[in-house]
Structure 1
Amino acid sequence: MIECPKGSNQKFDYDPAEKRFKLNKILPAGLVFPFDFGMIPGTKGEDGDPLDIIVISEGSTFSGCLVDCQIIGGLKAEQTERNGHKVRNDRFIGIPDVSQLYSDIHTLEELPQVLIDQLEAFFKNYNEQAGKKFKVTARLNAPQAAKLLSQ
């Protein structure tokens, strides 16, 4: 489920109790989501929220859009909150089943290295702006990411 469309500087979160989206924050000038960003319904991460996913696609969708994706990998990450508490906050990477431009991408390793580096830099900067630290501890291939999703 997409929460934040590609190119948006607004961070939305889905509130399951209210069954609606809520504006959580506005990103600083010049910082936008490089691709659609959202969550994987029915999952739960160490931080108590559904697992995060960034959807690599040629276009953007909208908040609330459900996108069937192939998980091609992920970024295993440690996030340090403002109070110093550390939690796992992984980012899964998916390709929409309907993508034409990325239809031949099936593993993280098939993406350009510069794109993966830029995603890591985005998440690091995004968290720094919120007074948090974000550290990628491993890049996950497709089978490793699928194993984490099934836990």
Structure 2
Amino acid sequence: MSGPLDSLGSRAESGLVNIIIDTPKGSRNKFKYDEKTQCFRLSRILPAGASFPYDFGSIPMTYAEDGDALDVLVISEVPSFAGCLITGKLIGRISGEQTEKGKTIRNDRLLAVPVTPVNPALFAHIDDLPDGWLKEIEHFFVSYNQAEGREYKPIRHSGPEEADAALTAAKRRYTRHQKP
């Protein structure tokens, strides 16, 4: 993600993160930010019965190991909308491998919760999620990738410290990839 969204930076106040939502909770439509048009473009439609379990977005000015902006799933009771800026608190990371056409890459997913002045963070750590939620999230990513002809294998999950370390590394990759 680049262009006008870069002016936001990856960090918000008080160590929170800026998250741009690509695809809202409950949507079968997967959107992706198009840097050329500076619009959100429909990239695919999920199969019947499948939808995003939570808002899905990315953190500006980052490059994950898969070459895209760092992916974030925002755990919230209500959906937002494509292009929405959410200030969030990182609560953890799902480390995973994605295989397509015999090539395997790391494709981790960060988990965050929205934070507003009147809505403090619901959870502080990935381990605070209610029973079964993490398995449902992992199942979504496995099924989502399978429908796209890829295999996704969750390796492990970790707390906010590792999520923050992944963000720091992704910011460094972004800086290295910028053209002078």
| Aligned pairs for 1:1-150 within 5 A | 1-81=20-100, 83-98=101-116, 100=119, 103-150=121-168
In structure 1, the partner of 2:10 is none
More helix by share: 2
SS at match of 1:28: coil
Q: What is the alpha-carbon distance in structure 2 between the residues aligned to residue 137 and residue 73 of structure 1?
A: 14
CA RMSD of aligned residues (A): 1.3
SS at match of 1:67: strand
Shift of 1:109: 0.5
How many residue pairs get aligned? The number is 149
Deviations, residues 86-118 of structure 1 (Å, cap 9, x unaligned):
111110000001284x73410000001300000
Return 5+ residue gaps in structure 1 as ranges.
Answer: none
After TM superposition, what 4+ stretches of structure 1 lie above 4 angstroms from structure 2?
none
Q: Which amino acid aligns with 2:102?
A: G
Shift of 1:84: 1.4
Deviations, residues 16-60 of structure 1 (Å, cap 9, x unaligned):
222111111000000000110011111101221101000001211
Whichever of the two has the greater Rg, that structure is 2
Return 5+ residue gaps in structure 2 as ranges.
Answer: 1-19, 170-180
Q: What is the alpha-carbon distance in structure 2 between the residues aligned to residue 107 and residue 95 of structure 1?
A: 10
Q: Which amino acid aligns with 1:106?
A: A
Q: TM-score when scaled to structure 1?
A: 0.94
Asked if the contact 2:22/2:31 (under 8 Å) is kept, the reply is yes
